[in-house]
Amino acid sequence: MKAVLPAFARSMVEARLPADLEVAWFTTPDEANAMVVDADIAWVDMQQPRYAGEAVARGTRIKWLSTIFAGLDTFPLPLLKERGVIVTNGNGLNAHTVADYAVMGILVAAKRFDEVVRIADRREWPFAAPGQAELAGSRALVIGYGTIGRLIGHRLAAFDVAVTGVTRSGRDETLTADRWRARLAEFDWVILAAPSTGETRAMIGADELAAMKSSAWLVNIARGDMVDKAALIDALATRRIAGAFLDTVDPEPLPPDDPLWSAPNAIHSMHLAGRSQMSMFPRGAALFLDNLAAFREGRPMTNVIDLDTGY
């Protein structure tokens, strides 16, 4: 049995790998592409996620694909389903840090701390705060009330924010996918934390932005393609909404001349939410080893993905 694994994980897993497992360690996309052709197990995470998807497509013998990332939008899921591949993801590995980041974005927006930093850079001393919104008593809609969404909700509740979640099933008094749009005008914070699927593409467009409060902020820590960028730029330029905190955009990286850079009241953080931590890789390595043992022994694995839904 052959496994293709990233060299960055070697120090964390090698000593605990089974002696009879043939292991190929890659450091570049070209190496991964070559090694994965006859692999049974593939963990091909790379700095640019699209390279992992390209490598996986070459692995016609893969039986199990492992990734430490929660989002699977760069992988060819229909092809993997056709080949009968088991896919496990990193759901939960960086959930706390992403939730922290989302709440940080809301606090930055409420107090306009981005403007405070710019004022300090200019060595000015204002007497009026640039942001005066209070979290207490405000209302947040969290679209995608899974592991990360619930953690965001718990954190916001500590600030006395009334939180409403959105789920596919409507469990635990959350809204279903067909109900949240009609209630957009109720919320001060609209937070995207859903997995990226065909159904979520451009889910926030001109109609949704028009339905939001003029004082509301859009917070996206999910995927950039969930927002119609042209519609968002127009809503920001016309002050239809108060602003947007965007950890994810489309495309990534955002080209230097993209108009979203200069859109009024848009705060960017370059898809750093999940990277603002030091523990994801050790936790991911431990998860891989646990799942490897389960895979070899035919036991249930952790974080197995439904390839029909994409999460």
252 is an active site residue: yes
Task: Say what the pLDDT of residue 290 is.
Answer: 98
Give percent above pLDDT 90 in the chain: 90
**Amino acid of residue 292:** L
In the chain, where the domains are located:
2-93+277-297, 95-275
Residue 245, H or E segment: strand 243-246
Mean pLDDT of 25-54: 93
Strand pairing partners for 139?
A: 162
Is residue 134 flagged as an active site residue? no
Rounded CA separation 311/304 (Å): 8
User: What fold, for 2-93+277-297?
Assistant: Rossmann fold (3.40.50)
From the number of C-beta atoms within 10 Å of its C-beta (0-12, 13-18, 19+), residue 112 rates as buried
Active-site residue, from 83, 168, 252, 268: 252
223 catalytic per annotation? yes
Domain pair 2-93+277-297 / 95-275, same fold: yes
What are residue 141's DSSP bridge partners? 164, 190
Would you state the torsion angle of the CA atoms of residues 146, 301, 284, 93, taken in this order, to the nearest 10 degrees?
Answer: 10
Comparing C-alpha atoms, which of 191, 201, 247 is closest to residue 225? 201
Single-letter residue type at 183: R
Residue 47's pLDDT is what?
A: 76
Q: What are phi and psi of 66, to 5 degrees?
A: -115, 140
Tell which phi-psi region holds residue 264, choosing left (phi > 0), alpha (psi between -120 and 50) or beta.
beta
Fold of 95-275: Rossmann fold (3.40.50)
Q: What is the pTM for the complete model shown?
A: 0.88
Q: CB of 140 within 8 A of CB of 160?
A: no
According to the model, what pLDDT value does residue 62 have? 98
Q: Tens digits of per-residue pLDDT, 255-270?
A: 999 999 999 999 999 9
- Among candidate residues 112, 150, 155, 223, the one labeled active-site is 223
Query: How many whole angstroms separate alpha carbon 222 and alpha carbon 193?
Result: 5
In this prediction, residue 163 carries a pLDDT of: 98
pLDDT of residue 48: 76
Distance, in Å, from the CA atom of 185 to the CA atom of 198, rounded to the nearest integer, reads 25
Average pLDDT of span 92-112: 96
Q: How confident is the model at residue 279 (pLDDT cuts 50, 70, 90)?
A: confident
Helix segments in 134-180, DSSP class H:
147-157
Backbone angles phi and psi of 268, in degrees to 5? -110, 145
Q: Is the pLDDT of residue 74 over 90?
A: no
Longest CA–CA separation in the chain, Å: 69
Which pLDDT score, from 0 to 100, does residue 280 have? Answer: 87
Question: How many CA atoms lie within 13 Å of 294's alpha carbon, on the beta-carbon side?
Answer: 16
DSSP track, 87-127: EE--TTTTHHHHHHHHHHHHHHHHHTHHHHHHHHHTT---S
Q: What is the pLDDT of residue 277?
A: 86
Question: Helices 113-121 and 95-111 sit at what angle, rounded to 10 degrees?
Answer: 70
d(CA 295, CA 309): 22
Q: For residue 311, name the pLDDT band (cuts at 50, 70, 90).
A: confident
How many Cα neighbours within 13 Å face the side chain of 303?
A: 24
